[in-house]
Chains A and B, each alone.
Chain A
Amino acid sequence: MALTEDNAGAPLLSVEDLRVYFHGDDTVSQAVDGIDFTVGPRETVCLVGESGCGKTVSALAVLGLVPTPPGRIVSGRIVFSGADLAKMKEEELRKIRGNRIAMVFQEPLTSLNPVFTVEDQISEAIRIHHPMSEEALRQRCVELLADVGISSPEDRLSDYPHQLSGGQRQRVMIAMALACDPELIIADEPTTALDVTVQSQILMLFSSIQLRRNMSILYITHDLGVVAGVADRVYVMYAGIIVEQAETVQLFGSAKHPYTRGLLASLPSRSRRGQRLYSIPGSVPNPARKPSGCPFHPRCGHAIASCRTEYPPMCDYGQGHLARCPVLFESAGRKVRR
């Protein structure tokens, strides 16, 4: 796979040919089916896709959090600053998880423990990874809360999650993620449960933290509006594979895959008033019963006979813009190397 970062150095996280399957009684769901992606230093990368496309499972796989069984990482390398996380033992992984890679989940109320105070929960990761005196620990928690924009942080330390608003809870989640100064934060739909005004505050918080701390962010979302607001680069997932990857401006300006194009064309907005919205026919395939060949072919207006049988190769449009659709690639006058 071509390196797509502007900065020449090696990516911080590089995932190669990751496959995660879930085994049911008599079915196998190929939730993630051979994906490659990289996250460079100080880069915000979005994995975008609909429910069931495998974006969350990919993120969990990076942290070794795929529930096993039924899940299983079938193949793949997950290289994080030189070391393959997929080969690591649990004890080694535990030194990285919450320390060098941290995660922010979608639903702060369910991911926070209701019987522990804010201070307990933020300090937990620090106690494990960087033990320090109680005094210093408390000081660190106050700093972290202030950092994520919580007013009068000293008073909030002894609060329980139910005493906080939705936005404050997500701020606490972010403070927990920041506790050990991670190099990479994986944020899985962190604003989906929030109101728009709070969402935009949290998105701003992410970008300001990233600037201040020189972190990388892997941001998982289904919302193309959010993608446009935060991402440097985007990977579009569909049915367990990456169908398109590009820099954000490229993706929104000239999408190359029929699925991405369809998604962008189907977004309602006031500028489309009076026009009929484009809609992608059909629905998202069940991961256990994926179509053969290109998984998007039953819903695709450009599909030809070979789409039904042949797995589509990644076609390189240059400048890090790749799309898994040879039909459109060839119709643009380019030659597919198979």
Chain B
Amino acid sequence: MKDRQNNETPILQISGLKKYFPVRRGFFQRISGWIRAVDGVDLSVPPGKTLGLVGESGCGKSTVARTVLRLLDPEAGSIRFDGEEISRLTEAELKPVRRKMQIVFQDPYGSLNPRMTVGQSIAEGLRAFGIRSTVRRQSRTAELLELVGLSADSSERFPHEFSGGQRQRVGIARALSVEPDLVICDEPISALDVSIQAQIINLLKDLQQRLGLSYLFISHDLNVVGYLCDQVAVMYAGKIMEEAPAMALFEDPRHPYTRKLLSAIPEPDPSRKGRTAEAFEAETEAEPRPEAAPEGCPFLSTCEDRDARCEHLEDAMYPVAEGHLVRCPKASGNVGSEGFPDCI
């Protein structure tokens, strides 16, 4: 991990990324405020590695994915793909870049056209990127289906003829058809049956090894993220609260939110039953409101460790160890002379 970071440019590097959505009210639909869905996010995916982006619904993780793919236009910030700044490119300029980054969606049924055979769906991407010969498209489609563990003759069948796991394989084949370097996986297994999830996880891992893919893996399932990812970023209310190598994050979580999230993982171990009892006797849940809290720590209202300084928290990440950053000066552990450590 370390040598790669030093020697190679990250496949994806985003910094200061912001995406706001307007809140419209009244008869004239005047803009009355902004939802800060993504509010200054820095992330980096090294080549051949997997960055996990975790958080609860509404934290902005899917908006990050969509903005990186330029399906949404960012308000501010930079998105560098393989060293090239893409946040201001026009649609035409984007086309060659799009080929290099693909997405696998959560719901494999909703993201495949029910009127097209699987073969047609996969070939669509090939045609769009300039493979004109039908024969070549067909042979490439067969190759791709085999790559994801489906028989080549499934190209004649329609999505409804496949099970959920098989459809997700088709979704992956489709993403891989244009030979991307980066695949953004947006909750790729959460719609699948338990006995099928492991098949898809294994497939994603195999493909990464064989093709040298990089993944931005978006999920709310911390067990999967802990298994699959090299580096993990925890997102809350549009901001990254903590980022660390996967093992460090699970073994030494620093941010109060990360700790809360980790203690809530339902682990298949009955000896943990009731272990989190005290932690969650809390009467009501406070949820992040992306509209509010322009200043201070976004986790302020729920945090048990808060004090007056948290209301005027600098917008900064504090280092804990190499590759481990946390958006909480107290939690970083290296408190400086004035109570706050040096931020980076």
| Interface SS majority for chain A | helix
The answer on a CB contact under 8 Å between A279 and B199 is yes
Provide the residues of chain B in CB contact with A165, threshold 8 Å: 285, 287
The answer on a CB contact under 8 Å between B281 and A222 is no
Provide the residues of chain B in CB contact with A186, threshold 8 Å: none
Q: Which of A158-213 contact B (CB under 8 A)?
A: 165-168, 195-201, 203-204, 207-208
Q: Which of B162-191 contact A (CB under 8 A)?
A: 163-166
User: 1/0 per position for A229-273, CB-CB distance to B under 8 A?
Assistant: 111000000000000000011001000000100111011111011
Provide the residues of chain A in CB contact with B205, threshold 8 Å: 276
Provide the residues of chain B in CB contact with A277, threshold 8 Å: 198, 201-202, 227
Provide the residues of chain A in CB contact with B122, threshold 8 Å: none
Closest chain B residue, CB of each to CB of A165: B287
Provide the residues of chain B in CB contact with A281, threshold 8 Å: 199
Provide the residues of chain B in CB contact with A226, threshold 8 Å: 266
Select one of B165, B246, B265 contacting A283, CB under 8 A: B165
- Which interface residue of B164, B205, B268, B271 has the most chain A CB atoms within 10 A? B268
The answer on a CB contact under 8 Å between A284 and B268 is no
- Which interface residue of B196, B276, B277 has the most chain A CB atoms within 10 A? B196
Provide the residues of chain B in CB contact with A157, threshold 8 Å: none
CB proximity of B106 to chain A, nearest CB, Å = 14
The answer on a CB contact under 8 Å between A276 and B226 is no
User: 1/0 per position for B266-282, CB-CB distance to A under 8 A?
Assistant: 11111111101100111
The answer on a CB contact under 8 Å between A284 and B250 is no
Q: Which of B285-306 contact A (CB under 8 A)?
A: 285, 287
| Interface SS majority for chain B | helix
Interface residues on A, range: 35 or more
Provide the residues of chain B in CB contact with A283, threshold 8 Å: 163-166, 193, 195-196
Q: What CA separation (Å) do A258 and B185 show in the bound complex?
A: 31
Provide the residues of chain A in CB contact with B246, threshold 8 Å: 270, 273
CB proximity of A153 to chain B, nearest CB, Å = 10
The answer on a CB contact under 8 Å between B226 and A262 is no
A50 interface residue (CB < 8 Å to B) = yes
Q: Which of B40-48, B90-98, B151-159, B217-225 participates in binding chain A?
A: B217-225
Q: What CA separation (Å) do A301 and B78 show in the bound complex?
A: 51
CB proximity of B203 to chain A, nearest CB, Å = 9
Q: What CA separation (Å) do A57 and B327 show in the bound complex?
A: 47
B264 interface residue (CB < 8 Å to A) = yes
Query: Given A204-B276, A283-B165, are A228 and B266 neighbors across the interface (CB < 8 Å)?
Result: yes
CB proximity of B338 to chain A, nearest CB, Å = 33
The answer on a CB contact under 8 Å between A225 and B276 is no
Query: Given A228-B272, A270-B226, A277-B202, are A196 and B283 neighbors across the interface (CB < 8 Å)?
Result: no
Q: Can you list 25 pairs linking A and B with CB atoms under 8 Å apart?
A: A50-B193, A50-B194, A151-B284, A165-B285, A165-B287, A198-B56, A200-B266, A200-B280, A204-B277, A204-B281, A224-B194, A225-B266, A228-B272, A249-B271, A264-B268, A266-B194, A269-B223, A270-B247, A273-B226, A277-B198, A277-B202, A278-B198, A279-B196, A280-B195, A284-B195
**With A200-B276, A207-B277, A266-B195 given, can you name 6 additional A-B contacts, CB distance below 8 Å?**
A196-B266, A204-B281, A263-B194, A266-B197, A268-B228, A278-B198
